[in-house]
């Protein structure tokens, strides 16, 4: 006899094990498909022409600016807060691996990047990125269009990044710092797609009442090529590029050197089912990666508990 878990894991595992079917996939009408194809083309074209980059979330920008103005601020606090934003983290990592600071070995995690370039440089990067987010009127208009969606995406990204990092540490799979960055960067294309949709809305090329499912479907369609193009243009570590490119492959590579990819897919898939047990869009990927990592029901329950703890942590660290 298997006792039911009081934390909701049984429902998640029932879907993963195939005992309960997820909800049916959304069926789009022919008219909807044509509209989606049109929007997808507009977003891809806008991203290509505008060379979009991720921007700091405005609420976090305020916290960073305030922190940097405190006297005798501790470096650890700055690193922690800077490390919570994909835009700033990406800038720090890129600069640490630039010719200006390169020391013959590529930096793969944020802590090493900060140590390499120094707190003063990191503070300058954070202040510049935060200031731009706060005072650039175009960015503020773009953010207001999909404000709720921005916040949800940020929260989901941080839970997955923290969860994957903690799971890597607990299970001895991959490097926790590197997996954390992979968790933040692998879906960065979604933020760029949202920026593009918002900008096109401001320009009047996309209706302001775009339904949420449509916006989500467009971001899902374009986020891999858009994110991978950004990674390549910024010259980020090759492994992060590969994860951005491969995290939705039907048949991803396996082996010890790809544990980070599979751990990220497994954590993200379980988190998606926690948010909505009816969402089966990543079910095949999740099962595949759990199998590649030889994670059974007990191990999946451990991941579920880690995610619950990190979700509570993120809610406290980044409210709203």
- Convert the pLDDT of each residue in 232-281 to its tens digit: 887 778 888 888 889 999 999 999 999 999 999 999 999 999 999 889 88
pLDDT for 220 beyond 90: yes
Q: Is 320 helix (H, G, I), strand (E, B) or coil?
A: coil
> What pLDDT was estimated at residue 173?
86
Interhelix angle 188-202/30-50, rounded to 10 degrees, is 100
pLDDT for 4 beyond 60: no
Tokens representing 152 are: 């949800």
> What pLDDT was estimated at residue 2?
46
**Neighbouring residues of 138: CB distance < 8 A, sequence distance ≥ 6:** 199, 202
> What pLDDT was estimated at residue 34?
94
**Nearest to residue 165, comparing CAs of 243, 260, 242, 262?**
260
* Alpha carbon distances (Å) from 303 to 116, 146, 299: 32, 31, 6
DSSP state of 278: T
pLDDT in tens, 24-57: 888 899 999 999 999 999 999 999 888 777 776 6
pLDDT for 292 beyond 60: yes
CATH of domain 137-320: 1.10.3210.10
Rounded to an integer, what distance in angstroms lies between the CA atom of residue 104 and that of residue 126?
Answer: 25
Q: Can you tell me the mean pLDDT for 51-74?
A: 70
Q: What is the overall mean pLDDT for the chain?
A: 85
Structural domain boundaries in the chain: 50-135, 137-320
Rounded to an integer, what distance in angstroms lies between the CA atom of residue 195 and that of residue 211?
Answer: 16
pLDDT in tens, 196-218: 999 999 899 999 888 888 999 99
- Higher-confidence residue of 289 and 237: namely 289
Rounded to an integer, what distance in angstroms lies between the CA atom of residue 260 and that of residue 271?
Answer: 16
Sign of the C-alpha dihedral computed for residues 219, 220, 226 and 230 taken in this order: positive
Q: Is 142 helix (H, G, I), strand (E, B) or coil?
A: helix
Query: Of 35-44, 58-67, 102-111, 138-147, where does the model show the most confidence?
Result: 35-44
Rounded to an integer, what distance in angstroms lies between the CA atom of residue 91 and that of residue 235?
Answer: 10
> What pLDDT was estimated at residue 135?
60
Rounded to an integer, what distance in angstroms lies between the CA atom of residue 144 and that of residue 150?
Answer: 9
Residue 301's Cβ-side half-sphere holds a number of Cα atoms within 13 Å equal to 12
Q: What is the pTM of this model?
A: 0.81
């Amino acid at each position: 006899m298997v006792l039911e878990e009081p934390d909701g894991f049984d429902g998640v595992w029932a879907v993963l094990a195939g005992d309960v079917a997820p909800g049916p996939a959304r069926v789009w009408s022919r008219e909807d498909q044509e509209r989606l194809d049109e929007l997808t083309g507009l977003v891809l074209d806008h991203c290509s022409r505008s060379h979009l980059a991720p921007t700091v979330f405005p609420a976090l920008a305020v916290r960073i600016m305030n922190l940097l103005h405190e006297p005798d601020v501790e470096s650890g606090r700055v690193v922690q807060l800077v490390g919570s934003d994909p835009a700033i983290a990406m800038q720090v990592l890129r600069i640490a691996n630039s010719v200006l600071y390169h020391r013959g070995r590529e930096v793969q995690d944020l802590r090493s990047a900060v140590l390499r370039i120094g707190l003063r440089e990191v503070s300058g990067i954070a202040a510049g990125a935060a200031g731009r987010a706060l005072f650039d009127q175009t960015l503020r208009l773009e953010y207001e269009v999909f404000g709720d969606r921005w916040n949800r995406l940020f929260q989901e990204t941080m839970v997955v990044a923290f969860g994957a990092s903690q799971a890597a540490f607990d299970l001895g799979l991959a490097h926790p710092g590197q997996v954390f960055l992979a968790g933040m960067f692998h879906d960065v294309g979604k933020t760029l797609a949202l920026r593009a949709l918002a900008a096109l809305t401001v320009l009047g090329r996309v209706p302001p009442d775009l339904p949420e499912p449509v916006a989500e479907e467009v971001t899902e369609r374009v986020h891999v090529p858009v994110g991978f193009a950004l990674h390549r243009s910024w010259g980020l570590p090759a492994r992060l590029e590969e994860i951005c490119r491969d995290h939705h492959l039907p048949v991803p590579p396996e082996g010890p050197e790809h544990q980070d990819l599979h751990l990220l897919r497994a954590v993200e898939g379980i988190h998606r089912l926690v948010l909505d047990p009816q969402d089966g869009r990543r079910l095949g990927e999740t099962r595949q990666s759990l199998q590649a990592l030889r994670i059974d029901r007990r191990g999946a329950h451990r991941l579920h508990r880690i995610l619950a703890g990190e979700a509570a942590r993120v809610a406290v660290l980044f409210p709203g």
